[in-house]
Structure 1
Amino acid sequence: MLIDAHCHLDFTQFDDDRPEVFEAAKAVGVGHFIVPGTTRDRWQHVLTLGGREDTSVCLGLHPYFIDQHQESDVEALEQQLSEHPELVALGECGIDARFTDTLDAQWRYFDAQLKLAKRHSLPVVVHCVHANDKVAKRLRQLELPQAGLIHAFSGSIEQATKFLDLGFKLGLGGAVTYERAKRLQRTVEALPNDAFVLETDSPDMPLSGYQGKRNEPCRVAEVCDVVATLRGQTTEQVAAQSSNTAAKLFGL
Protein backbone atom coordinates (compact mmCIF):
# COMPACT_ATOMS: atom_id res chain seq x y z
CA MET A 1 0.00 0.00 0.00
CA LEU A 2 1.08 3.56 -0.75
CA ILE A 3 0.45 6.58 1.45
CA ASP A 4 0.28 10.08 0.00
CA ALA A 5 1.81 11.84 2.98
CA HIS A 6 0.89 15.36 1.85
CA CYS A 7 -2.07 16.29 -0.34
CA HIS A 8 -4.43 19.25 -0.12
CA LEU A 9 -7.62 17.43 -1.00
CA ASP A 10 -9.69 20.08 0.77
CA PHE A 11 -8.78 22.67 -1.87
CA THR A 12 -11.50 23.95 -4.18
CA GLN A 13 -9.73 22.46 -7.21
CA PHE A 14 -11.21 19.11 -6.12
CA ASP A 15 -14.75 20.28 -5.41
CA ASP A 16 -16.15 18.96 -8.69
CA ASP A 17 -14.71 15.43 -8.58
CA ARG A 18 -13.25 14.69 -5.14
CA PRO A 19 -14.76 11.16 -4.87
CA GLU A 20 -13.32 10.25 -8.27
CA VAL A 21 -9.89 11.55 -7.21
CA PHE A 22 -9.91 9.24 -4.20
CA GLU A 23 -10.97 6.30 -6.37
CA ALA A 24 -8.31 6.97 -9.01
CA ALA A 25 -5.67 6.93 -6.30
CA LYS A 26 -6.97 3.72 -4.78
CA ALA A 27 -6.93 2.09 -8.22
CA VAL A 28 -3.13 2.40 -8.29
CA GLY A 29 -2.61 1.26 -4.69
CA VAL A 30 -2.83 4.45 -2.65
CA GLY A 31 -4.58 3.44 0.56
CA HIS A 32 -4.19 6.45 2.85
CA PHE A 33 -4.01 10.22 2.55
CA ILE A 34 -2.58 12.90 4.87
CA VAL A 35 -4.29 16.28 4.41
CA PRO A 36 -2.68 19.34 6.08
CA GLY A 37 -4.42 22.60 6.88
CA THR A 38 -3.28 25.93 5.47
CA THR A 39 -5.57 28.71 6.72
CA ARG A 40 -8.12 29.06 9.49
CA ASP A 41 -11.02 29.32 7.05
CA ARG A 42 -10.06 25.94 5.49
CA TRP A 43 -9.75 24.03 8.77
CA GLN A 44 -13.35 22.84 8.85
CA HIS A 45 -13.03 21.48 5.30
CA VAL A 46 -9.92 19.57 6.41
CA LEU A 47 -11.64 18.23 9.53
CA THR A 48 -14.56 17.03 7.41
CA LEU A 49 -12.17 15.01 5.24
CA GLY A 50 -10.71 13.60 8.44
CA GLY A 51 -14.01 11.80 8.96
CA ARG A 52 -12.99 9.37 6.22
CA GLU A 53 -11.33 6.15 7.37
CA ASP A 54 -8.67 6.49 4.68
CA THR A 55 -7.72 10.11 5.52
CA SER A 56 -5.76 11.64 8.39
CA VAL A 57 -5.54 15.38 8.91
CA CYS A 58 -3.42 18.17 10.36
CA LEU A 59 -4.17 21.84 11.01
CA GLY A 60 -1.80 24.76 10.63
CA LEU A 61 -1.08 28.22 9.23
CA HIS A 62 0.85 28.09 5.96
CA PRO A 63 3.45 30.82 5.25
CA TYR A 64 2.29 31.24 1.65
CA PHE A 65 -1.07 32.53 2.90
CA ILE A 66 0.44 34.92 5.45
CA ASP A 67 -1.88 37.77 4.42
CA GLN A 68 -4.88 35.69 5.48
CA HIS A 69 -3.61 34.98 8.99
CA GLN A 70 -4.37 36.96 12.13
CA GLU A 71 -2.69 36.76 15.52
CA SER A 72 -5.88 35.31 16.97
CA ASP A 73 -5.54 32.33 14.62
CA VAL A 74 -2.76 30.95 16.82
CA GLU A 75 -5.08 30.82 19.81
CA ALA A 76 -7.79 29.30 17.63
CA LEU A 77 -5.31 26.67 16.46
CA GLU A 78 -4.46 25.69 20.02
CA GLN A 79 -8.15 25.30 20.75
CA GLN A 80 -8.54 23.02 17.73
CA LEU A 81 -5.59 20.92 18.87
CA SER A 82 -7.28 20.46 22.25
CA GLU A 83 -10.68 19.65 20.78
CA HIS A 84 -9.54 17.24 18.05
CA PRO A 85 -7.35 14.41 19.35
CA GLU A 86 -7.64 12.77 15.93
CA LEU A 87 -5.20 15.32 14.47
CA VAL A 88 -1.98 13.52 13.52
CA ALA A 89 0.26 16.60 13.28
CA LEU A 90 0.42 20.37 13.33
CA GLY A 91 0.85 21.87 9.90
CA GLU A 92 1.41 22.95 7.32
CA CYS A 93 3.63 25.62 8.80
CA GLY A 94 7.07 26.93 7.99
CA ILE A 95 9.18 29.43 6.09
CA ASP A 96 9.11 30.41 2.41
CA ALA A 97 12.09 32.67 1.87
CA ARG A 98 11.00 33.56 -1.66
CA PHE A 99 8.71 36.11 0.01
CA THR A 100 11.24 38.35 1.73
CA ASP A 101 8.72 41.08 2.58
CA THR A 102 6.80 38.77 4.94
CA LEU A 103 9.71 36.88 6.51
CA ASP A 104 9.40 38.52 9.92
CA ALA A 105 5.72 37.59 10.13
CA GLN A 106 6.46 34.10 8.79
CA TRP A 107 8.97 33.44 11.56
CA ARG A 108 6.57 34.77 14.17
CA TYR A 109 3.79 32.39 13.10
CA PHE A 110 6.23 29.52 12.62
CA ASP A 111 7.71 29.91 16.09
CA ALA A 112 4.27 30.12 17.66
CA GLN A 113 3.19 26.91 15.92
CA LEU A 114 6.36 25.04 16.81
CA LYS A 115 5.76 25.87 20.46
CA LEU A 116 2.18 24.59 20.16
CA ALA A 117 3.44 21.35 18.63
CA LYS A 118 5.88 20.91 21.49
CA ARG A 119 3.20 21.63 24.09
CA HIS A 120 0.77 19.15 22.53
CA SER A 121 3.49 16.60 21.68
CA LEU A 122 2.58 16.55 17.98
CA PRO A 123 4.85 16.18 14.95
CA VAL A 124 5.03 19.22 12.67
CA VAL A 125 4.63 19.35 8.89
CA VAL A 126 7.16 21.94 7.73
CA HIS A 127 7.10 23.96 4.52
CA CYS A 128 10.71 25.02 3.95
CA VAL A 129 11.75 26.88 0.79
CA HIS A 130 15.24 28.39 0.48
CA ALA A 131 15.58 28.19 4.26
CA ASN A 132 16.83 24.70 5.09
CA ASP A 133 19.77 25.75 7.23
CA LYS A 134 17.90 28.39 9.24
CA VAL A 135 14.90 26.14 9.79
CA ALA A 136 17.13 23.24 10.86
CA LYS A 137 18.86 25.53 13.36
CA ARG A 138 15.53 26.63 14.85
CA LEU A 139 14.23 23.06 15.08
CA ARG A 140 17.43 22.02 16.83
CA GLN A 141 16.98 24.80 19.38
CA LEU A 142 13.39 23.78 20.18
CA GLU A 143 13.99 20.00 20.48
CA LEU A 144 10.50 18.93 19.42
CA PRO A 145 9.68 15.57 21.03
CA GLN A 146 7.78 14.19 18.01
CA ALA A 147 9.92 15.83 15.28
CA GLY A 148 7.94 15.75 12.03
CA LEU A 149 8.10 16.03 8.25
CA ILE A 150 10.13 18.36 6.05
CA HIS A 151 7.62 18.56 3.22
CA ALA A 152 8.81 18.72 -0.42
CA PHE A 153 12.47 18.42 0.47
CA SER A 154 14.80 19.38 -2.37
CA GLY A 155 18.13 20.03 -0.69
CA SER A 156 21.54 18.39 -0.46
CA ILE A 157 22.46 15.27 1.49
CA GLU A 158 24.24 17.53 4.01
CA GLN A 159 21.03 19.49 4.59
CA ALA A 160 19.02 16.27 4.70
CA THR A 161 21.32 14.88 7.38
CA LYS A 162 20.73 17.92 9.61
CA PHE A 163 17.00 17.21 9.59
CA LEU A 164 17.41 13.44 9.94
CA ASP A 165 19.68 13.90 12.95
CA LEU A 166 16.80 15.77 14.62
CA GLY A 167 14.43 12.86 13.97
CA PHE A 168 12.62 14.45 11.03
CA LYS A 169 11.59 12.63 7.87
CA LEU A 170 11.78 14.05 4.35
CA GLY A 171 8.88 14.34 1.91
CA LEU A 172 9.72 13.34 -1.66
CA GLY A 173 7.38 14.40 -4.43
CA GLY A 174 7.18 15.66 -7.98
CA ALA A 175 10.49 17.52 -7.88
CA VAL A 176 12.45 14.28 -7.90
CA THR A 177 10.97 13.32 -11.30
CA TYR A 178 12.63 16.16 -13.21
CA GLU A 179 15.77 15.45 -15.19
CA ARG A 180 17.36 18.71 -14.03
CA ALA A 181 17.00 17.83 -10.33
CA LYS A 182 20.42 16.23 -10.13
CA ARG A 183 21.30 17.33 -6.59
CA LEU A 184 18.00 16.10 -5.21
CA GLN A 185 18.34 12.82 -7.06
CA ARG A 186 21.81 12.28 -5.58
CA THR A 187 20.31 12.97 -2.16
CA VAL A 188 17.52 10.43 -2.73
CA GLU A 189 20.06 7.81 -3.75
CA ALA A 190 21.98 8.29 -0.48
CA LEU A 191 19.10 8.42 2.03
CA PRO A 192 18.57 5.64 4.59
CA ASN A 193 15.53 3.46 3.94
CA ASP A 194 13.56 4.98 6.82
CA ALA A 195 14.37 8.62 6.03
CA PHE A 196 11.56 9.56 3.66
CA VAL A 197 7.88 9.45 2.83
CA LEU A 198 6.20 9.91 -0.56
CA GLU A 199 3.83 12.76 -1.32
CA THR A 200 2.24 14.75 -4.13
CA ASP A 201 1.28 18.15 -2.65
CA SER A 202 -1.82 17.89 -4.82
CA PRO A 203 -3.08 19.97 -6.55
CA ASP A 204 0.38 21.59 -6.80
CA MET A 205 3.90 20.41 -7.66
CA PRO A 206 3.06 18.40 -10.82
CA LEU A 207 5.43 15.65 -11.90
CA SER A 208 7.58 15.89 -15.00
CA GLY A 209 5.34 15.39 -18.00
CA TYR A 210 2.29 16.82 -16.24
CA GLN A 211 3.29 20.49 -16.12
CA GLY A 212 0.27 22.77 -16.18
CA LYS A 213 -2.08 20.02 -15.02
CA ARG A 214 -3.70 19.54 -11.64
CA ASN A 215 -1.65 17.15 -9.53
CA GLU A 216 -3.48 14.24 -7.89
CA PRO A 217 -2.68 11.59 -5.24
CA CYS A 218 -2.66 8.83 -7.86
CA ARG A 219 0.64 10.30 -9.09
CA VAL A 220 2.37 9.20 -5.89
CA ALA A 221 2.68 5.80 -7.57
CA GLU A 222 4.84 7.40 -10.25
CA VAL A 223 6.93 9.20 -7.62
CA CYS A 224 7.45 5.78 -6.06
CA ASP A 225 8.64 4.35 -9.38
CA VAL A 226 11.20 7.13 -9.86
CA VAL A 227 12.50 6.90 -6.29
CA ALA A 228 12.83 3.13 -6.63
CA THR A 229 14.82 3.48 -9.85
CA LEU A 230 17.16 6.06 -8.29
CA ARG A 231 17.75 3.85 -5.25
CA GLY A 232 18.15 0.59 -7.13
CA GLN A 233 15.22 -0.91 -5.25
CA THR A 234 11.92 -2.38 -6.32
CA THR A 235 8.76 -0.29 -6.38
CA GLU A 236 7.32 -2.68 -3.79
CA GLN A 237 10.25 -2.10 -1.44
CA VAL A 238 9.98 1.69 -1.66
CA ALA A 239 6.21 1.60 -1.26
CA ALA A 240 6.45 -0.56 1.85
CA GLN A 241 9.33 1.39 3.40
CA SER A 242 7.86 4.84 2.78
CA SER A 243 4.39 3.85 3.96
CA ASN A 244 5.81 2.27 7.12
CA THR A 245 7.75 5.47 7.80
CA ALA A 246 4.64 7.61 7.27
CA ALA A 247 2.57 5.34 9.52
CA LYS A 248 5.12 5.64 12.33
CA LEU A 249 5.54 9.40 11.88
CA PHE A 250 1.81 10.13 12.01
CA GLY A 251 0.82 7.36 14.40
CA LEU A 252 -1.51 5.73 11.91
Structure 2
Amino acid sequence: MKFIDSHCHFDFDAFQPDRAQIWQRCINSGVTRLIIPGVCRAQWHPLTALTGSQSGWYGAAGIHPWWVAKESNPDGSLIQPEALGWALSDYLNSNHCVAVGECGLDAAIETPIEIQEAVFRVQLEVASEFELPLILHVHRTHNEVLKLLKQFRLPRGGVIHAFSGSEQMAMDYWKMGFYLGIGGTITYARAAKTRRTVSQLPIESLVLESDAPDMPISGRQGLRNSPENLPLIAAELAKLRGVSLQDIADKTQNNTEILFSL
Protein backbone atom coordinates (compact mmCIF):
# COMPACT_ATOMS: atom_id res chain seq x y z
CA MET A 1 0.00 0.00 0.00
CA LYS A 2 1.07 3.59 -0.65
CA PHE A 3 1.04 6.68 1.56
CA ILE A 4 1.55 10.41 1.00
CA ASP A 5 2.93 12.57 3.80
CA SER A 6 0.98 15.80 3.34
CA HIS A 7 3.19 17.83 5.72
CA CYS A 8 6.87 17.05 6.26
CA HIS A 9 9.76 19.49 6.72
CA PHE A 10 12.18 17.14 5.00
CA ASP A 11 14.41 20.04 3.96
CA PHE A 12 15.26 20.99 7.57
CA ASP A 13 18.83 20.56 8.80
CA ALA A 14 17.73 17.71 11.08
CA PHE A 15 17.65 15.47 7.99
CA GLN A 16 20.90 16.68 6.42
CA PRO A 17 23.12 13.83 7.72
CA ASP A 18 20.99 10.92 6.46
CA ARG A 19 18.22 12.23 4.21
CA ALA A 20 18.89 9.69 1.46
CA GLN A 21 18.83 6.75 3.87
CA ILE A 22 15.59 7.94 5.48
CA TRP A 23 13.96 8.36 2.08
CA GLN A 24 14.87 4.79 1.18
CA ARG A 25 13.29 3.57 4.39
CA CYS A 26 10.21 5.65 3.57
CA ILE A 27 9.89 3.97 0.18
CA ASN A 28 10.35 0.56 1.80
CA SER A 29 7.49 1.34 4.20
CA GLY A 30 5.18 2.60 1.43
CA VAL A 31 5.65 6.35 1.90
CA THR A 32 6.34 7.38 -1.69
CA ARG A 33 5.45 11.08 -1.80
CA LEU A 34 6.01 14.11 0.47
CA ILE A 35 4.61 17.64 0.57
CA ILE A 36 7.28 19.96 1.98
CA PRO A 37 5.93 23.36 3.14
CA GLY A 38 7.77 26.65 2.93
CA VAL A 39 8.33 28.66 6.11
CA CYS A 40 10.30 31.77 5.05
CA ARG A 41 11.69 33.53 1.97
CA ALA A 42 15.26 32.39 2.54
CA GLN A 43 14.12 28.77 2.38
CA TRP A 44 12.09 28.89 -0.85
CA HIS A 45 14.85 28.55 -3.44
CA PRO A 46 16.81 25.83 -1.58
CA LEU A 47 13.55 23.94 -1.16
CA THR A 48 12.85 24.14 -4.88
CA ALA A 49 16.32 22.78 -5.61
CA LEU A 50 15.68 19.90 -3.20
CA THR A 51 12.25 18.97 -4.55
CA GLY A 52 13.61 19.16 -8.09
CA SER A 53 16.18 16.52 -7.22
CA GLN A 54 13.73 13.76 -6.33
CA SER A 55 10.56 12.43 -7.89
CA GLY A 56 7.80 12.33 -5.31
CA TRP A 57 8.83 15.46 -3.40
CA TYR A 58 6.60 18.53 -3.80
CA GLY A 59 7.19 22.00 -2.42
CA ALA A 60 5.04 24.87 -1.20
CA ALA A 61 5.98 28.49 -0.52
CA GLY A 62 4.82 30.53 2.43
CA ILE A 63 5.73 32.45 5.57
CA HIS A 64 5.08 30.60 8.81
CA PRO A 65 3.93 32.73 11.79
CA TRP A 66 7.06 31.73 13.70
CA TRP A 67 9.23 33.25 10.98
CA VAL A 68 7.27 36.47 10.44
CA ALA A 69 9.43 38.49 12.85
CA LYS A 70 12.59 37.34 11.02
CA GLU A 71 11.49 38.76 7.66
CA SER A 72 13.42 42.05 7.64
CA ASN A 73 14.74 44.77 5.36
CA PRO A 74 18.50 45.31 4.89
CA ASP A 75 18.39 47.94 7.67
CA GLY A 76 16.90 45.42 10.07
CA SER A 77 13.37 46.83 10.10
CA LEU A 78 10.40 44.50 9.71
CA ILE A 79 9.51 44.14 6.04
CA GLN A 80 6.05 45.34 5.03
CA PRO A 81 3.43 42.63 4.41
CA GLU A 82 2.75 43.96 0.91
CA ALA A 83 6.41 43.45 0.00
CA LEU A 84 6.22 39.88 1.23
CA GLY A 85 3.14 39.34 -0.92
CA TRP A 86 4.96 40.68 -3.98
CA ALA A 87 7.95 38.44 -3.26
CA LEU A 88 5.69 35.41 -2.94
CA SER A 89 3.89 36.22 -6.20
CA ASP A 90 7.17 36.69 -8.04
CA TYR A 91 8.41 33.36 -6.72
CA LEU A 92 5.27 31.48 -7.71
CA ASN A 93 5.38 33.00 -11.18
CA SER A 94 8.71 31.32 -11.86
CA ASN A 95 8.65 28.21 -9.65
CA HIS A 96 6.20 25.33 -9.44
CA CYS A 97 4.54 24.89 -6.05
CA VAL A 98 1.56 22.77 -5.06
CA ALA A 99 0.36 25.15 -2.33
CA VAL A 100 0.84 28.43 -0.49
CA GLY A 101 2.10 27.84 3.03
CA GLU A 102 2.83 27.05 5.69
CA CYS A 103 1.05 30.16 6.89
CA GLY A 104 -1.57 31.17 9.43
CA LEU A 105 -1.90 32.52 12.97
CA ASP A 106 -0.42 31.49 16.32
CA ALA A 107 -1.57 33.05 19.60
CA ALA A 108 1.23 31.43 21.61
CA ILE A 109 4.18 33.39 20.18
CA GLU A 110 5.50 36.88 20.88
CA THR A 111 4.86 38.32 17.41
CA PRO A 112 1.72 40.48 17.77
CA ILE A 113 -1.33 38.87 16.21
CA GLU A 114 -1.97 42.05 14.20
CA ILE A 115 1.39 41.68 12.44
CA GLN A 116 0.81 37.96 11.87
CA GLU A 117 -2.62 38.69 10.42
CA ALA A 118 -1.29 41.30 8.00
CA VAL A 119 1.23 38.79 6.63
CA PHE A 120 -1.41 36.05 6.57
CA ARG A 121 -3.81 38.26 4.61
CA VAL A 122 -1.35 38.81 1.77
CA GLN A 123 -0.82 35.06 1.55
CA LEU A 124 -4.58 34.53 1.38
CA GLU A 125 -4.69 37.01 -1.50
CA VAL A 126 -1.85 35.26 -3.32
CA ALA A 127 -3.44 31.83 -2.86
CA SER A 128 -6.67 33.19 -4.31
CA GLU A 129 -4.87 34.84 -7.22
CA PHE A 130 -2.86 31.74 -8.13
CA GLU A 131 -5.72 29.34 -7.31
CA LEU A 132 -3.54 27.29 -4.98
CA PRO A 133 -4.57 25.50 -1.78
CA LEU A 134 -3.34 26.75 1.59
CA ILE A 135 -1.34 24.85 4.19
CA LEU A 136 -2.54 26.41 7.43
CA HIS A 137 -0.92 26.64 10.85
CA VAL A 138 -3.68 27.44 13.35
CA HIS A 139 -2.83 27.54 17.06
CA ARG A 140 -5.41 28.92 19.49
CA THR A 141 -6.75 31.11 16.68
CA HIS A 142 -9.48 29.03 15.03
CA ASN A 143 -12.13 31.74 15.35
CA GLU A 144 -9.86 34.37 13.81
CA VAL A 145 -8.80 32.07 10.97
CA LEU A 146 -12.35 30.96 10.18
CA LYS A 147 -13.44 34.60 10.03
CA LEU A 148 -10.69 35.42 7.54
CA LEU A 149 -11.39 32.34 5.42
CA LYS A 150 -15.03 33.39 5.15
CA GLN A 151 -13.90 36.77 3.84
CA PHE A 152 -11.60 35.37 1.15
CA ARG A 153 -13.54 32.27 0.04
CA LEU A 154 -10.49 30.58 -1.47
CA PRO A 155 -11.20 28.62 -4.68
CA ARG A 156 -8.93 25.69 -3.79
CA GLY A 157 -9.37 25.49 -0.02
CA GLY A 158 -6.45 23.82 1.70
CA VAL A 159 -5.54 21.84 4.79
CA ILE A 160 -5.59 22.59 8.53
CA HIS A 161 -2.24 21.27 9.67
CA ALA A 162 -2.19 19.20 12.90
CA PHE A 163 -5.91 19.56 13.46
CA SER A 164 -6.96 19.03 17.08
CA GLY A 165 -10.26 20.89 17.37
CA SER A 166 -13.83 19.75 17.84
CA GLU A 167 -15.95 17.83 15.37
CA GLN A 168 -18.09 20.93 14.76
CA MET A 169 -15.01 23.03 14.03
CA ALA A 170 -13.69 20.36 11.69
CA MET A 171 -16.96 20.37 9.78
CA ASP A 172 -16.86 24.17 9.55
CA TYR A 173 -13.48 23.90 7.84
CA TRP A 174 -14.56 20.98 5.67
CA LYS A 175 -17.60 22.85 4.38
CA MET A 176 -15.24 25.64 3.28
CA GLY A 177 -13.06 23.23 1.31
CA PHE A 178 -10.40 22.52 3.92
CA TYR A 179 -9.08 19.06 4.74
CA LEU A 180 -7.88 18.10 8.22
CA GLY A 181 -4.25 17.06 8.71
CA ILE A 182 -4.00 14.00 10.96
CA GLY A 183 -0.64 13.30 12.58
CA GLY A 184 1.11 11.76 15.54
CA THR A 185 -1.21 13.36 18.11
CA ILE A 186 -3.74 10.56 17.61
CA THR A 187 -1.19 7.97 18.79
CA TYR A 188 -1.36 9.40 22.34
CA ALA A 189 -4.05 7.98 24.61
CA ARG A 190 -4.30 11.33 26.43
CA ALA A 191 -5.48 13.01 23.20
CA ALA A 192 -8.96 11.62 23.80
CA LYS A 193 -10.85 14.51 22.22
CA THR A 194 -8.84 14.45 19.00
CA ARG A 195 -8.99 10.68 18.77
CA ARG A 196 -12.76 10.77 19.19
CA THR A 197 -13.12 13.54 16.62
CA VAL A 198 -11.09 11.84 13.89
CA SER A 199 -13.07 8.65 14.38
CA GLN A 200 -16.26 10.53 13.46
CA LEU A 201 -15.21 12.83 10.61
CA PRO A 202 -15.88 11.97 6.96
CA ILE A 203 -12.93 9.96 5.65
CA GLU A 204 -13.07 12.21 2.58
CA SER A 205 -11.93 15.12 4.79
CA LEU A 206 -8.72 13.55 6.15
CA VAL A 207 -5.10 13.58 5.02
CA LEU A 208 -2.09 12.07 6.80
CA GLU A 209 0.95 14.02 7.94
CA SER A 210 4.07 13.48 10.01
CA ASP A 211 5.24 17.10 10.55
CA ALA A 212 8.71 15.57 10.78
CA PRO A 213 11.14 16.29 12.36
CA ASP A 214 8.56 17.49 14.91
CA MET A 215 5.46 15.84 16.45
CA PRO A 216 6.97 12.43 17.32
CA ILE A 217 4.55 9.57 17.76
CA SER A 218 3.77 8.03 21.15
CA GLY A 219 6.67 6.07 22.58
CA ARG A 220 9.25 8.11 20.67
CA GLN A 221 9.06 11.38 22.56
CA GLY A 222 12.28 13.35 22.43
CA LEU A 223 13.41 11.66 19.22
CA ARG A 224 13.57 13.10 15.73
CA ASN A 225 10.31 12.32 13.96
CA SER A 226 10.48 10.86 10.45
CA PRO A 227 8.06 10.50 7.53
CA GLU A 228 8.74 6.76 7.66
CA ASN A 229 6.48 6.73 10.74
CA LEU A 230 3.44 7.71 8.67
CA PRO A 231 2.15 4.10 8.34
CA LEU A 232 2.04 3.89 12.15
CA ILE A 233 -0.19 6.98 12.24
CA ALA A 234 -2.33 5.45 9.50
CA ALA A 235 -2.61 2.22 11.49
CA GLU A 236 -3.83 4.13 14.55
CA LEU A 237 -6.38 5.99 12.44
CA ALA A 238 -7.61 2.68 11.01
CA LYS A 239 -7.97 1.30 14.53
CA LEU A 240 -9.90 4.35 15.73
CA ARG A 241 -12.27 4.18 12.78
CA GLY A 242 -12.65 0.39 12.74
CA VAL A 243 -11.52 -0.02 9.15
CA SER A 244 -8.58 -1.65 7.39
CA LEU A 245 -5.19 -0.03 6.98
CA GLN A 246 -5.56 -0.50 3.23
CA ASP A 247 -8.75 1.56 3.32
CA ILE A 248 -7.03 4.39 5.18
CA ALA A 249 -4.07 4.29 2.78
CA ASP A 250 -6.27 4.38 -0.32
CA LYS A 251 -8.67 7.07 0.90
CA THR A 252 -6.07 9.45 2.33
CA GLN A 253 -3.86 9.06 -0.72
CA ASN A 254 -6.78 9.97 -2.95
CA ASN A 255 -7.68 12.94 -0.75
CA THR A 256 -4.13 14.28 -0.86
CA GLU A 257 -3.93 13.88 -4.61
CA ILE A 258 -7.15 15.88 -5.00
CA LEU A 259 -6.09 18.58 -2.54
CA PHE A 260 -2.70 19.26 -4.15
CA SER A 261 -3.58 18.27 -7.74
CA LEU A 262 -0.83 15.64 -7.79
Give the AA of the match of 1:30.
V
Following superposition, the deviation at residue 102 of structure 1 comes to 2.2
Percent identical residues: 38
Distance 2:63 2:223 in 1: 26
Following superposition, the deviation at residue 21 of structure 1 comes to 1.4
Give 1:196's match in structure 2, choosing from 198, 206, 212: 206
CA contact (8 A) 2:40 2:62 kept: yes
Q: Which residue of the partner structure matches residue 184 of structure 1?
A: 194
Greater C-alpha radius of gyration: 2
Q: Which residue of the partner structure matches residue 33 of structure 2?
A: 32
Two-structure CA RMSD over aligned residues (Å): 1.0
Q: Which residue of the partner structure matches residue 22 of structure 1?
A: 23
Distance 1:239 1:101 in 2: 38
Give the AA of the match of 1:74.
G
Give 1:115's match in structure 2, choosing from 115, 122, 125: 125
Distance 1:139 1:31 in 2: 31
Give the AA of the match of 1:6.
H
Distance 1:100 1:76 in 2: 24
Give 2:94's match in structure 1, choosing from 67, 78, 83: 83
CA contact (8 A) 1:153 1:172 kept: yes
Distance 2:46 2:197 in 1: 35
Matched, 1:222 2:222: no
Give 2:65's match in structure 1, choosing from 51, 63, 66: 63
Following superposition, the deviation at residue 246 of structure 1 comes to 0.2
Give the AA of the match of 1:53.
S
Which portions of structure 1, spanning 4 or more consecutive aligned residues, are displaced by more than 4 angstroms? none
Give the AA of the match of 2:42.
D
Distance 1:74 1:16 in 2: 34
Following superposition, the deviation at residue 76 of structure 1 comes to 1.3
Q: Which residue of the partner structure matches residue 247 of structure 1?
A: 257
- Deviations along 1:149-173, whole A, 9 cap, x unmatched? 1111011101101100101101000
Q: Which runs of 5+ in 1 are unaligned?
A: none
Q: Which residue of the partner structure matches residue 45 of structure 2?
A: 44
Normalised TM-score (structure 1):
0.97
Give the AA of the match of 1:45.
P
Q: How many residues align?
A: 251
Distance 1:80 1:169 in 2: 25
- Secondary structure of residue in 1 paired with 2:112: helix
CA contact (8 A) 2:8 2:36 kept: yes
